[in-house]
Structure 1
């Protein structure tokens, strides 16, 4: 696994705002517990080329390492919390993107 930062990109559509709000309430403490940092979200992203993902929310956050991201995702507290997201949204993708190693 890499010691470089990784970014997580999620795309989903909210069907049940109340269930999704339950997820949002608990998300940030678990993210921070694993060294994660929220970057941004967008409810109306624009695709310049290629096939656009289904309309919905795009969220981007990052972790200091792949191990930290994997620990976050596998954290039993996160998995329990994510049941609210699963119940309130349709997830299109949850993707980890590796950073480039530093250039010398």
Structure 2
């Protein structure tokens, strides 16, 4: 069953966040994830959206997601994303 990683990101420190962006695609390419959307101007239908961007990534299953997220290489750069931005992230199960 596919799982989806949804991150709502509000960039607070461009230079810190840029350190994350400089490495994330290289690390991500080693795993079976697929970017479905990276959007900085989504259409808001309900509520409020106080973020700089939304990112939606599909993984074939929870095991592959866990391999990516918990990998040493990703954990090394995750600190840049978390220190450079407010991030609200969830994992959603697919059908």
Task: Pick the aligned partner of 1:17 from 14, 22, 26.
Answer: 14
TM-score by structure 1 length? 0.82
Contact 2:11 / 2:51 at 8 angstroms: preserved in 1?
no
Contact 2:2 / 2:93 at 8 angstroms: preserved in 1?
yes
Runs of 4+ in structure 1 off by over 3 angstroms are none
Task: Pick the aligned partner of 1:32 from 29, 41, 44.
Answer: 29
Greater C-alpha radius of gyration:
1
Please list, as runs of the form range in 1=range in 2, the aligned pairs for 1:35-74 lying within 5 A after superposition.
Answer: 35-49=32-46, 51-74=47-70
Q: Any stretches of 5+ residues in structure 2 without a counterpart?
A: none
The offset of 1:55, in angstroms, is 2.9
Paired residues in the alignment total 95
Root-mean-square deviation (CA), in Å? 1.4
TM-score by structure 2 length? 0.88
Q: Any stretches of 5+ residues in structure 1 without a counterpart?
A: none
Give the Cα–Cα distance (whole angstroms) in 2 for the partners of residues 30 and 64 of structure 1.
17
- Asked if residue 90 in structure 1 is aligned to residue 78 in structure 2, the reply is no
Show the counterpart of 1:81.
Answer: 77
